[in-house]
Structure 1
Amino acid sequence: MPSDPADPADAPTDAEAAADPRLVGPAVAAWSSTALGLWAPSSVTLLLSVVLVSAALLAISKQRHWVALVLVVAAAATPAAGLRAAHVQAGGLPELAADGAVVRAVVVIAGDPRTVQTPFGEQVYVKASARLVIGRGRTLDGRAPVLLMAQPDIGVHDVQLGSRVRVVGRLATSDSTDLAALLRVSRVDGVVADPAWWWTIAAGVRDGVAAAVDGRGMPGELVPALVVGDDSGLSVEVADDFRTSGLTHLLAVSGTNLTLVLGAVLLLARWCGVRGRGLRITGVLAAVAFVLLARPDPSVVRAAAMGLVALAGLTAGDRRRGLRALCVAVIVLLLVNPWLARSVGFALSALATAAIVVLGPPWRNALARWLPRWAAEAIAVPLAAQLACTPVIAAISGQASLVAVLANVLAAPAVGPATVAGLAAGLVAVAIPALGQLLGWSAVLPAWWIVTVGRLSADLPGASLGWGTSTGALAALTVICLLLAAGAAPVLRHRWAALAITTMLVGVVVRPLPSPGWPPEGWVAVVCDVGQGDGLVLSAGDGVAVVVDAGPDPAKISHCLSELGVHRVAAVLITHLHADHAAGLAGVLSQAQVAEVAVGPVRTPAESWQQVDAATAAADVPIRTVGAGETASVGAVSWQVLWPPLQTAPDLDDAGDSGGSAVNDASLVLAVQVGGVSLLLTGDIEPPTQTALLRSGADLSADVLKVPHHGSAQQDEAFLDAVDAEVALISVGTDNTYGHPAPQLLTQLHADGVQVARTDRDGAIAVLSDGESVSVRTR
């Protein structure tokens, strides 16, 4: 029975009465000052530091000690970050990188390899520390952080963490201040020194975890991610399901991993009779071992720190102590690694931990009035964390998950057993592989439940709510979340109010309402927000569309089509086979009934062509090759292919330092008419093809221009003048590393009076027509 409202047992204890916010100001000051220190010139940061110290002394003289503390922290953080960034960029390596020097180098591998699908095919990225660099008559010694980049067949992928390796490659500059240079490796000449013994042991255990669950399907793929954050074997389907259902945090090392492992180790130690100082030492050693096992990347260290803070805050029930510990952890981590100030993962960890520590206990107590305490805590923790992180997640993905809390509540009971059993099976597999395989089943079974929860949650019609990434949309979402956080406790305290809201939410998830005002009435084309890539939908009629490019992510283009109510696609035209235009094709094929896929004559990159061919074959959709001169129409949409010539060589070279220009310049260029609006869709063509189109005599004029190559600096001014568009659409990813869109291009478009809409700032872009004029609406 619920407790009487006046029952003093329900009153908060002194520890839970209020969170202590006194260190929040210093933590926020450290964060903002660190970000400023990484951005501003060192002279500015030093001057600002002097001003802040002077202000702090003045505050002390007036007995304003809290203000003085905030100013002192800011004064320390600003130059510390600036000096760290300057140190990385000091020395001769950035100079050699600016010259594009070919060098011989000895590097120490500092991270696990990541295989990344780039516009030019697969690349292997590995973080390393350059100890010796020889090139252009110079010999450099030191510990400069670099990022190795190589083709998969070069052999970088096979080198173990901690190994000292001799490589040959070409240096390139990096836009990131935490890297001295990029090193495009052309050859690995051998291992100079093997990794230290602790790295060898850690690698053995990681291999043991993977071996213990090998061949167990999707659940087996998940176990290494749960245990050590190794998601290299995870299928795209599972990753997409977890992203939609709000379970992505399980695929990377988080504070949850450490708290589960640490709890199991301490429980075992207590059973063995360890007490007092021995127990504390055991806990410290277990935490260090876990960090080594999961790799001591900044993200792992950050997750470990946040996990310990959240565990302390929840177990002690002391919000004041938990919040103070969080603020101290933030300040210390930023001083140790200032680049965390720009990390989305760090922001999500800090927000989630703060919410768990501050909101978790009172929400748990409110729910405990009518639920068992264990159930109340199981709901309160993910609810608090999800509400705090929702604005940041929406800024990244353009979506807000409506099933995340339910999915996390259902998955949570299985996370602990899967993680601890997976680690135990991995340890055993190192010595006795057969027994490790047998024990692996104890991890696979709970992992199966987690995968099932993720899949079923993601498959719900209203699993996520599309949300714009514009400043206004994110500000509105932030205000909504703050209001919900402020008013949640009274609602959660009353059973019927909580159940009524839960029932309404379930109804929205099962029978989702259309996004308000989206798609807007009269839309003729929509540029989907697919990140760094292209994905455009042309309206051919009720529920029917023509799709031009599918972006890099199947989930994003699928979500876009779903929101637009498209259930039949008359044609998918892939302008060229770079991954940022073609890799999302599976999302179109799974979302709608597709009549055909059309591509240009070029068949490179070969691996991308193979993926397109396999995806269409699996869906029983025909592929057709098109070239200049071809025309077609479907419903309200008609188009003419202006480029490339059908006889273009299919095996264009897309390798080397050319940046893939040959394949870019063979992009399909389409002159489209839809709903009285003319559009010129240009793929990634660059000045050579732009000039060729000018010389061809084709009519390039259009109301709307899809700006070539995501707004790169490589544009022919005469081409832009010939198009003479009213509206320019730029499909581009937020904070991309290519410098898209180029500032000089934006300046030129604005000077010409062209209205510019870009997905990185505006989100999805709809082109509207009333029969007389063209306009755009974004969200």
Structure 2
Amino acid sequence: MTHDLRMVPPALVAWGAAAWLVTASSYVSVVVAIGSIVMAGALARWRPHRGLVWVLTAVCLAAIAVSCAWRLTTIEHSPLTDLAREHRLTTLDLEVRRDARTFTHHGHDSVVVEVLVRRAVSRDADITTRDHATAFLDGDAADLVVGRRFTATGRLAPSDNSDEAAVIDVVRRGPADRATWWWEASERVREGVRQSVTPVGDEPEALVPALVDGDDGRVSDKVEEDFRRSGLTHLMAVSGTNLTIVLAVVMAIGRAAGVRRRGLWVLGAVSIIAFVLLARPDPSVVRAAAMGAVGVAALGFGARGGVRALAWAIVGLLFLDPWLARSAGFVLSATATGGILLLAPPFAHRLERWMPRWCALAIAVPIAAQLVCTPAIAALSGEISLVAVVANLLAAPAVAPATVAGLVGGIVALVSVPLSHPPGIVAGACASWILTVGHRAAALDSASLEWRSPWQWLLVLVPLVTAVIMAISSRPVVFIGLSAGLLIAVWRPPQTGWPPAGWVMVACDVGQGDATVLNASGGSAVVVDAGPDPTAIDRCLDRLNVHRVRLMVFTHGHADHIDGWPGVLDGRQVDQVAVGPTGGPGRADIPQHLATPGESFTVGDVTARVLWPAASGPIRVAGSEGSTANNASIVLAAQVRGVRLMLSGDIEPEAQDGLLREHPDLSADVLKMPHHGSARQSKAFFDAVGARLATISAGEDNDYGHPAAAALSLLREEDMQWWRTDTDGDIAIVERDGRLLVVTRD
């Protein structure tokens, strides 16, 4: 098939120009606009026919530059921008542009909402405007949905985003007024979708609204992480897939009703508009609408014109919103659509020689999309998913039924919520299958490959891989053999020696937090702290083949030690939980007790004694609430198969010295470095421990500077060898024939 590629160079130039100009000043955009207009006129005069592509390129560049110049000038010279520079306290009339979202900030929930500022009143200033801004506020914001207006009083500040005039720290606000009827109608349908899936489980209940209309506010961090690793992230956001499904159903109904080509165009356009209203006019939704328009255009002009339609869609979107050029979603959506248009047909044509057409298309489409998106994914996440194609093939059959059933449930809920439950249950069952695929695929050790080289290398490597796949796709024996080999390698990767034989303790790489696993033998363990991320601790325990946690110890109640608790529970039996004075999470059906000084326990091969906190209560440090909680950490002196371990939580010098006074003999073979290797350490404590080995649990590039240079210097003085999770990954202490070894898994 021959594609019309004449619009590709203008689209690429427009894309690059937009990505650059939105970071420059309006004056640069004006210069580029004038220059490109002059260039277009000259080319049109001297090469009117042979230079058509160059003329179109200059025209597109001029259009993008004019759009950037207009938008940037409006923002730079807006009276609201001037008020923001002065940090004025202002009363504002605001309209919600995107639904409010809740996030955690300094331990409490806050709300962020993107707004359109219609009026701003401050001392000696009363302005009418239509500038964009971001507002931060506390309290419930369930009523702040797209289209609604409200008044607020807040402190303005300059925005770091070039497309916004200000950031608003809201002090108080009034109730939101009702929006126009079309926004209120879309909100009722969205609420109907949520109501229709209330009978299903928590994860499907959260995923179905994300599949139908992009409402992912209740999707858990674990699901997001697993979908990212398995290449299913696009399902949780409104994308071309969602719109394609809706369009396919609408078109099928239209054809069945006797609607023909021109009528189908109109029906498709109306469906796109309705979908944008339902899913909100976010950049991802507008992008999906444009990709849907490409599909409608292909319906009218044929597949040959699909690339041309895509190029015009890119130029049109960037003209309306040049900031899309730097949006990850725009990059992935446009490249995936281009890959499907260009690569899927030849792939499918070769596969059709030895398999049914439907099967060839099912395989060719995800392969084409994944190949073209690989450089962008590696640049954005530093990882390449090795299971994305298979995961998408397995999940794909459930996506359309889940989307359609969820949408039907939302519409039926407008009439009767109980009647909406049957389609909601169908949608939930389909979502459960998608979740199963995502979780199982992400759990594989080889689910993703870390890409540490410059992503630009993939611009050379991916075309080579594409050529190889294209060459073997018409040879069934070779194609099936290599595909099976890859699947087996991912499902059962070559043994890496993990967990190492004779391991007694592992410091899990959980980011900026603590999680230590003691081997109680027979697939059971004692786990001390769970880190900040459920997914990270879950994977660490999976790699260690831990199926039962005999005792879960939370040294203290800080998030970087307890927030991973759901990951410990995932698929494992937990017998008991022990907490210190600052408490910790638990579950009603799992016994929990307060660990006391002097208490000891034996669990399998693990023997341990609680050394701290002191019976007299936690040591308080004036002016440092964090230090008071840290100094209340449980400290364990543990022993596993003769190896003595000092697990010191986050205690700081005050508690370290207090511990030494109460227990002069603190000698151990291995020290779990206190407080992630912070600079605040007691040399006397380290002298008393006298360990040969130390583990440091810290997150890569963390904001705290852990481990501190002073802490590492102290370890050198004590002649302790150390390993750190931020550079070495999981750290295993191994006992073999009376010798201590360290094995890492980066």
TM-score (normalised: structure 1)? 0.72
Distance 2:539 2:285 in 1: 31
**Are 2:516 and 1:562 aligned?**
no
Using a 3 Å threshold, how does the CA distance of structure 1 residues 185 and 354 change in structure 2: closer, same or farther? same
Q: What is the aligned counterpart of 2:111 among 97, 110, 124?
A: 124
Using a 3 Å threshold, how does the CA distance of structure 1 residues 663 and 299 change in structure 2: closer, same or farther? farther
The answer as to whether partners of 2:159 and 2:167 remain within 8 angstroms in 1 is yes
Which residue of 2 is the match for residue 499 of structure 1?
480
Using a 3 Å threshold, how does the CA distance of structure 1 residues 413 and 77 change in structure 2: closer, same or farther? same
* 1:15-30 → structure 2 map (5 Å cutoff): 15=3, 20=5, 23-30=7-14
**Are 2:712 and 1:731 aligned?**
no
Q: What is the aligned counterpart of 1:741 among 682, 693, 703?
A: 703
Deviation at 1:197, TM superposition (A): 1.4
Q: Match of 1:158, SS?
A: coil
Identity %: 34
Q: Which segment drifts farther, 286-295 or 51-60?
A: 51-60
The answer as to whether partners of 1:535 and 1:547 remain within 8 angstroms in 2 is no
Distance 1:422 1:547 in 2: 40
Which residue of 1 is the match for residue 452 of structure 2?
471
**Are 2:93 and 1:106 aligned?**
yes
Distance 2:614 2:72 in 1: 46
Using a 3 Å threshold, how does the CA distance of structure 1 residues 44 and 621 change in structure 2: closer, same or farther? farther
* 1:330-729 → structure 2 map (5 Å cutoff): 330-390=314-374, 392-393=376-377, 400-430=384-414, 432-433=415-416, 437-438=418-419, 441-442=422-423, 444-445=425-426, 447-456=428-437, 458-459=439-440, 463=444, 465=446, 467=448, 469=450, 471-472=452-453, 481-514=462-495, 528=509, 530=511, 533-537=512-516, 549-563=529-543, 574=554, 577=557, 579=559, 581-590=561-570, 599-602=579-582, 612-614=585-587, 617-618=588-589, 620=590, 622=592, 624=594, 647-648=617-618, 668=633
The answer as to whether partners of 1:705 and 1:723 remain within 8 angstroms in 2 is no
Which residue of 2 is the match for residue 157 of structure 1?
142
The answer as to whether partners of 1:360 and 1:377 remain within 8 angstroms in 2 is yes
Distance 2:274 2:502 in 1: 58
Distance 1:536 1:765 in 2: 10
The answer as to whether partners of 1:112 and 1:126 remain within 8 angstroms in 2 is yes
Post-superposition Cα deviations, 1:332-384, rounded to whole Å, max 9, x if no partner, equal 32333233233322222123212211211111111111111112112211222
The answer as to whether partners of 2:652 and 2:680 remain within 8 angstroms in 1 is no
The answer as to whether partners of 1:52 and 1:72 remain within 8 angstroms in 2 is yes
Using a 3 Å threshold, how does the CA distance of structure 1 residues 296 and 397 change in structure 2: closer, same or farther? same
Which residue of 2 is the match for residue 254 of structure 1?
239
Count of matched residue pairs: 721
Distance 2:70 2:299 in 1: 37
Using a 3 Å threshold, how does the CA distance of structure 1 residues 87 and 458 change in structure 2: closer, same or farther? same
Post-superposition Cα deviations, 1:293-351, rounded to whole Å, max 9, x if no partner, equal 11111111012223443675699773x63333333333332333233233322222123
Deviation at 1:489, TM superposition (A): 2.0
Q: Which has the larger radius of gyration?
A: 2
Post-superposition Cα deviations, 1:639-688, rounded to whole Å, max 9, x if no partner, equal 998989973599x9xxxxx99968887785989999999999886xxxxx
Post-superposition Cα deviations, 1:702-758, rounded to whole Å, max 9, x if no partner, equal 99998979x9xxx979999x999999875158xxxxxx6389999999999999999
Which residue of 2 is the match for residue 301 of structure 1?
286
Distance 2:300 2:625 in 1: 55
Distance 1:340 1:680 in 2: 49
The answer as to whether partners of 2:611 and 2:636 remain within 8 angstroms in 1 is yes
Using a 3 Å threshold, how does the CA distance of structure 1 residues 164 and 587 change in structure 2: closer, same or farther? same
The answer as to whether partners of 1:704 and 1:729 remain within 8 angstroms in 2 is no
Using a 3 Å threshold, how does the CA distance of structure 1 residues 65 and 690 change in structure 2: closer, same or farther? farther
Q: Which segment drifts farther, 441-450 or 562-571?
A: 562-571
Amino acid corresponding to residue 366 of structure 1 in structure 2:
R
The answer as to whether partners of 1:468 and 1:474 remain within 8 angstroms in 2 is no
Using a 3 Å threshold, how does the CA distance of structure 1 residues 590 and 33 change in structure 2: closer, same or farther? same
The answer as to whether partners of 1:399 and 1:465 remain within 8 angstroms in 2 is no
Q: Which segment drifts farther, 55-64 or 22-31?
A: 55-64
Q: Which segment drifts farther, 566-575 or 491-500?
A: 566-575
* 1:71-82 → structure 2 map (5 Å cutoff): 81=68
Q: Match of 2:341, SS?
A: helix
The answer as to whether partners of 1:302 and 1:346 remain within 8 angstroms in 2 is yes
The answer as to whether partners of 1:547 and 1:573 remain within 8 angstroms in 2 is yes
The answer as to whether partners of 2:332 and 2:373 remain within 8 angstroms in 1 is yes
Deviation at 1:214, TM superposition (A): 3.6
Post-superposition Cα deviations, 1:158-209, rounded to whole Å, max 9, x if no partner, equal 3342111123455566544444444444543223x42111111211222233
Q: Which segment drifts farther, 309-318 or 269-278?
A: 309-318
Q: Which segment drifts farther, 359-368 or 137-146?
A: 137-146
Using a 3 Å threshold, how does the CA distance of structure 1 residues 567 and 398 change in structure 2: closer, same or farther? farther
**Are 2:125 and 1:147 aligned?**
no
Which residue of 1 is the match for residue 664 of structure 2?
none
Amino acid corresponding to residue 353 of structure 2 in structure 1:
R
Distance 1:706 1:181 in 2: 44
The answer as to whether partners of 2:508 and 2:537 remain within 8 angstroms in 1 is no
Amino acid corresponding to residue 320 of structure 2 in structure 1:
V
| Structure 1 unpaired stretches of 5+ | 1-12, 604-608, 653-657, 684-688, 734-739
Distance 2:675 2:449 in 1: 24
Distance 1:142 1:663 in 2: 49
Deviation at 1:452, TM superposition (A): 2.1
Post-superposition Cα deviations, 1:555-596, rounded to whole Å, max 9, x if no partner, equal 233224434555666776656545455322111233666676
Cα RMSD between the aligned structures?
Answer: 5.7
* 1:156-195 → structure 2 map (5 Å cutoff): 156-169=141-154, 175-191=160-176, 193-195=177-179
Distance 1:221 1:195 in 2: 25
TM-score (normalised: structure 2)? 0.75
Distance 1:537 1:85 in 2: 52
Amino acid corresponding to residue 265 of structure 2 in structure 1:
R
Amino acid corresponding to residue 114 of structure 2 in structure 1:
K
Using a 3 Å threshold, how does the CA distance of structure 1 residues 636 and 419 change in structure 2: closer, same or farther? closer
Distance 1:65 1:523 in 2: 71
The answer as to whether partners of 1:119 and 1:578 remain within 8 angstroms in 2 is no
Using a 3 Å threshold, how does the CA distance of structure 1 residues 727 and 512 change in structure 2: closer, same or farther? closer
Q: Match of 1:378, SS?
A: helix
Q: What is the aligned counterpart of 1:208 among 186, 192, 217?
A: 192
Distance 1:659 1:84 in 2: 47
The answer as to whether partners of 2:679 and 2:708 remain within 8 angstroms in 1 is no
| Structure 2 unpaired stretches of 5+ | 662-668, 688-692
Q: Which segment drifts farther, 662-671 or 267-276?
A: 662-671
